């Protein structure tokens, strides 16, 4: 056996093993567990109010001692987790703990998320505030909590991470610098959509940027590179999206065909990602998630039909149209994680950078797998191998579809 043949057999071996493992794992794995959460912090005369939002599925990632044996694998109503969520935050002022007055919980059904509103009172005053965040950072060092602080008509941005889970805010110093006073009450509306950006520190060109011990970054609003990483992780950890992209590779025998398919898919999911994120298109995940699984099932069997056909068929000619339709469905699914954070505010930055991250992740999949998949064609039964891989992808999609419908 020649070195040339060994090289192609090795490529075949790795590609088959990779796809089988991916297909097997994906039938039981959740495609959209998130390493991100979102927080809006208000500082006003009554005290401090922390509004914390997390994807519903992330509840299962909380420390196991917060569950009973009967409920550790079941997601209950949001009020059942108020204690563990409140323990994940601490607020102090002037080096003394602030008192937690109350905690409210809400279920955001549109984006499959839970939200908790915790209100603190600081009898000793709030000249200097320290806020600490403890949730998920021990389970995942890559966890990030995107936070916005609203105070006296100003907004500031920061992130809580494993190595930076504490935030110091010199309230009195900032109010003196801004020549402002604290608001008499908390804003009860959704800050992400109702807050007036014209008064924001970030968007007001006449004001100088302010930094608080490097915790806050006052810059152009859309420059949040963390959302590129979020988009990349969402596509690379979303096994249903990965298998769909792999399915596109299996029948794209030439670069021109591949570029055409990926362009259509990218254009389609970018459209619905934007429409869904901006609230123009509203579809429940209970509908979208099974549909995404169904697209994986259908594209797998469609590939099988195309690969078996000896001449071009009507189904093969309609393949680009199906890719575009399926891309529209995937775009809605991609939007849910982004919508959980800031629900449309600010639109330009988060949408653009998140979508950029999705495209980078998609390109990474293509660059890694295109060459070994194309090498299969050098085998005598190369098309048969591609057909087997298509069946495996269809089986994974069918398993997801049953699981998500049930």
**Residue-level pLDDT at 273:** 87
pLDDT (mean) for 147-163: 85
Q: In the prediction, which pLDDT does 377 show?
A: 72
Give residue for tokens 């949001």.
Answer: 78
Q: What is the DSSP string of 245-287?
A: HHHHHHH--SHHHHHHHHHHHHHHHHHHHHHHHTTSS---HHH
Q: What pLDDT, on the 0 to 100 scale, is given for residue 64?
A: 57
Give the pLDDT score at 68: 56
- Report the C-alpha gap between 396 and 241 in whole angstroms: 12
For 299-310, write each residue's pLDDT tens digit: 998 888 888 876
Res. 161: pLDDT tops 50:
yes
Nearest to 336 by CA among 227, 234, 241, 240: 234
pTM of structure: 0.60
For residue 356, what is the DSSP state? H
- At 208, the pLDDT band (50, 70, 90 cuts) reads very low
Nearest by Cα to 133 from 233, 32, 38, 228: 38
pLDDT at 98: 92
Residue 193 has pLDDT above 70, yes or no: no
b/e map of 295-332 (b: 16 or more CB within 10 Å)? Answer: bbbbbbbbbbebbeeeeeeeeeeebeeebbebbbbbbb
Using the predicted structure, report yes or no on whether residue 386 has a pLDDT greater than 80: yes
SS3 14: helix
Question: 131 or 65: which carries more pLDDT confidence?
Answer: 131
Separation between Cα atoms, residue 14 and residue 370, nearest integer Å? 13
Q: Which of 271, 304, 306, 272 is nearest to 288 (CA)?
A: 272
| Residue among 179, 140, 190 at smallest CA distance from 161 | 140
**Residue where the block lists tokens 């500031």:** 156
Whether the per-residue pLDDT at 32 is higher than 50: the answer is: no
pLDDT at site 321? 87
Maximum CA extent, the chain: 82
| Confidence (pLDDT) at 344 | 41
**Which three-class secondary structure state does DSSP give residue 310?**
coil
User: What share of the chain has pLDDT > 70, as a percent?
Assistant: 74
> What pLDDT does residue 340 have?
60
Tell me the average pLDDT across 204-215.
Answer: 36
Distance of CA 397 to the CA centre of its chain: 21
Give the integer Cα–Cα distance in Å for 338 and 355: 10
The structural domains of the chain, with segments of one domain joined by +, span 3-30+226-405, 36-199
Residue range 85-111, pLDDT digits in tens: 999 999 999 888 999 999 999 988 777
pLDDT value, residue 182: 92
Task: Return the pLDDT at 316.
Answer: 66
Q: Which of 176-180, 187-191, 373-377, 398-402 has the lowest mean pLDDT?
A: 187-191
**Do the beta carbons of residue 313 and residue 306 sit within 8 Å?**
yes
* Distance from C-alpha of 109 to C-alpha of 77, rounded to nearest angstrom: 12
At 337 the pLDDT is 67
State residue 27 phi and psi, 5-degree precision: -70, -20
| Per-residue pLDDT reduced to its tens digit, 45-77 | 999 999 998 888 888 887 754 555 555 568 888
Q: 112 Cβ partners below 8 Å, 6+ apart?
A: 55, 56, 57, 285, 336
């Amino acid at each position: 056996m020649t070195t040339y043949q060994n090289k192609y057999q090795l490529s075949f071996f790795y590609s088959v093993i990779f796809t089988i493992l991916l297909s097997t794992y994906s039938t039981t794995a959740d495609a959209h567990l998130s390493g991100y959460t979102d927080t809006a912090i208000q500082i006003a005369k009554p005290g401090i109010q922390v509004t914390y939002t997390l994807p519903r599925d992330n509840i299962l990632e909380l420390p196991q001692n917060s569950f009973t044996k009967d409920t550790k694998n079941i997601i209950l109503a949001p009020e059942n987790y108020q204690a563990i969520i409140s323990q994940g935050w601490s607020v102090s002022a002037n080096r003394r703990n602030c008192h937690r007055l109350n905690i409210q919980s809400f279920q955001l059904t549109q984006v499959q998320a839970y939200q908790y509103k915790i209100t603190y009172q600081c009898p000793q005053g709030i000249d200097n505030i320290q806020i600490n965040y403890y949730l998920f950072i021990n389970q995942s060092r890559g966890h990030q909590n995107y936070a916005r602080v609203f105070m006296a008509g100003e907004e500031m941005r920061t992130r809580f991470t494993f190595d930076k889970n504490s935030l110091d805010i010199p309230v009195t110093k900032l109010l003196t610098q801004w020549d402002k006073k604290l608001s008499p009450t908390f804003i009860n509306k959704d800050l992400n959509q109702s807050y007036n950006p014209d008064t924001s520190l970030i968007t007001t060109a006449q004001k100088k940027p302010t930094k608080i011990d490097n915790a806050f970054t006052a810059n152009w609003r859309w420059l949040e590179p963390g959302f590129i990483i979020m988009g990349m992780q969402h596509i690379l950890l979303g096994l249903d999206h990965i298998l769909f992209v792999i399915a596109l590779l299996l029948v794209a025998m030439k670069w021109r065909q591949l570029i055409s398919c990926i362009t259509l898919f990218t254009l389609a999911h970018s459209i619905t990602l934007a429409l869904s994120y901006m609230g123009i298109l509203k579809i429940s995940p209970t509908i979208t998630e099974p549909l995404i699984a169904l697209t994986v099932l259908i594209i797998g069997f469609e590939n099988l039909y195309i690969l078996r056909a000896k001449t071009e068929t009507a189904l093969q000619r309609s393949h680009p149209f199906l890719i575009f339709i399926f891309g529209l469905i995937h775009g809605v699914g991609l939007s849910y994680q982004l919508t959980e954070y800031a629900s449309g505010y600010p639109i330009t930055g988060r949408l653009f950078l998140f979508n950029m991250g999705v495209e980078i992740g998609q390109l990474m999949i293509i660059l890694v797998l295109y060459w070994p998949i194309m090498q299969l064609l050098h085998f005598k039964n190369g098309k048969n191998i591609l057909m087997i891989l298509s069946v495996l992808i269809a089986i994974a999609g069918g398993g997801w579809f049953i699981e998500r419908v049930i």
